[in-house]
Amino acid sequence: MPDELDPYRGKRRFADTPEPEPGTKPQRRRTPEPAAARFVIQEHSATSWHFDLRLEHGGVAVSFALPRGLPLDPRTNRKAVHTEDHPLEYLEFAGTIPRGNYGAGEMSVYDHGTYTTEKWKPREIIVTLRGERVAARYALFQAGDDDRDWIIHRMDEPAPADPFPDHVQPMLATLSRLPENAERDYAFEVKWDGMRALAFSEPGRLRLESRTQRDITQSFPELQRLQRQLGARRAVLDGEIVALTDDGRPSFQLLQSRMNLTGRGQVARAAQRQPVTYMIFDVLYLDDRSTTALPYTERRQMLEQLGLEGPAWKVPAALEGRGADVLEASRRVGLEGIIAKRTGSTYHPGQRGREWLKIKNVLRQEFVIGGFTTGTGRRSETIGALLVGVNDDRGLRYAGKVGTGFTDAGLDMLMERLRPLVQPASPFVHGSPPRAATFVRPELVCECSFSEWTAQGLLRQPAFLGLRDDKPAADVVREEPAE
């Protein structure tokens, strides 16, 4: 008879891999052990993540690869791939299989223990596993003529668990000033200027959803390896996908080049050109339990204990009781602002309350009014947005539309001031104002707040603050922060 471990030996170069080399004595199958035998479940991060289930039987470790892990309840069957028998020493193996070797990647022990055999036939096995993490009764049965093609099925009911959610609407923050009790009741995080995203991670699968519950998984392939770090843990994470500049600041303009792409090749090229980072700041589900009813401090501790740090994801710091310092630091480096989270707050999906506050670093300066667009709805008879600009050495440069911050009385006043200045030609020497606009002589100056300048020289999130009659239009230029 051939040695049953010959296939195992044939796939490995033991001078290059730390995997155990079996002895030279041939291993023969025996009848199933009457007493409880050993088993191990290993996490294997190879070409793709999977579990390896190994059962001590007949002097070898009978092995199955589980691409999606173990089924958690009897209503779900999962694929099992019957692989070559392994030596019994493999029941205790953990380590890194070097690149270039069969099964290259990280191998770690997820669970181990003993099992009892209810049935062991060539095409069907029924066992009860008793491990530190897994205690369940499973059936493995061959699904076709190919000996590799098996199915694993859980036969007993699991302990009560919270259902893994299909969707979660993210909790929202309310715009505010720094709270008075900031030093006592809040933790502070950076407000990331990107795309809100929730990550749903199950064994072998990661799904990303936008704030509107749109599946964006295929748009950000560099985030898929996050699932490998989570491994067998089922988790729902909350965070922000950002594109970072060379100096490490988030840029919404850079992120726009990654949004709404569909073709696989197009996405792959964009990922190479402009990679993203997933800034993870909350965990909403972990290990069969919803965590939304836990206070922020407990959720934060659970998140940090996951140790999520990778090439395209990280858990940024949260500082308790140092709101003024964090806000000032964010202002100095040009970030959008910070989020203040009440330390005792629970997570309220889809709600915007006072337990999360967003405090922004808002810029403000004067702009020249060069025209306006007509509004819609109740503002259809008046101004919809002002077209504003700044002077440079070539003339008036278009800086964007300002459509918020007005009162009804203010709109009436602006129409009275602007109507006599209407002219047919655009006063903007460069830039691209909308064609369907009413242009005016560039004489009036207004002050606006905004979050930042885009790379195209346009305002982001501008708001009208009022007219400035005390400054000539010719003196209005783009203000740059001092060194």
Domain ranges of the chain: 6-154, 172-360, 363-475
Query: pLDDT band for position 159 (50/70/90)?
Result: confident
Q: How much is the pLDDT for 26?
A: 47
300 φ, ψ (degrees, to nearest 5): -65, -40
**CA gap 50, 57 in Å, rounded:** 22
Q: Which helix (H) or strand (E) holds 53?
A: strand 49-57
483 pLDDT band (50/70/90 cuts)?
very low
User: Strand pairing partners for 341?
Assistant: 187, 356
Cβ(133)–Cβ(111) below 8 Å: yes
The residue assigned the tokens 């503002």 is 379
Cβ atoms of 177 and 162 within 8 Å: the answer is no
% of the chain beyond a pLDDT of 90: 69
pLDDT reading at 82 higher than 90 = yes
Average predicted confidence (pLDDT) for the chain: 90
Confidence of residue 378 (pLDDT cuts 50, 70, 90): low
Per-residue pLDDT, averaged over 67-82, amounts to 93
Half-sphere exposure of 100 (CA within 13 A, CB side): 6
Q: Write down the pLDDT at residue 193.
A: 84
Q: Which two tokens stand for residue 80?
A: 């099992």
Which amino acid would we find at residue 141? Answer: F
pLDDT in tens, 96-113: 999 999 999 999 999 999
- Whether the model clears a pTM of 0.85, i.e. scores above it, the answer is no
Candidates 472, 476, 423; CA nearest to 448 is: 476
How much is the pLDDT for 260?
Answer: 67
Q: Which CATH class is domain 172-360?
A: alpha beta
* pLDDT digits 0-9 by tens, 311-324: 999 999 999 988 88
Q: Has residue 1 got a pLDDT over 50?
A: no
pLDDT tier for residue 254 given thresholds of 50, 70 and 90: confident
| Closest by Cα among 40, 9, 12 to 23 | 9
Give the domain 363-475 fold.
OB fold (Dihydrolipoamide Acetyltransferase, E2P) (2.40.50)
pLDDT at 32: 47
- According to the model, what pLDDT value does residue 3 have? 80
Is residue 375 predicted with pLDDT exceeding 80? no
Active site amino acids: 191
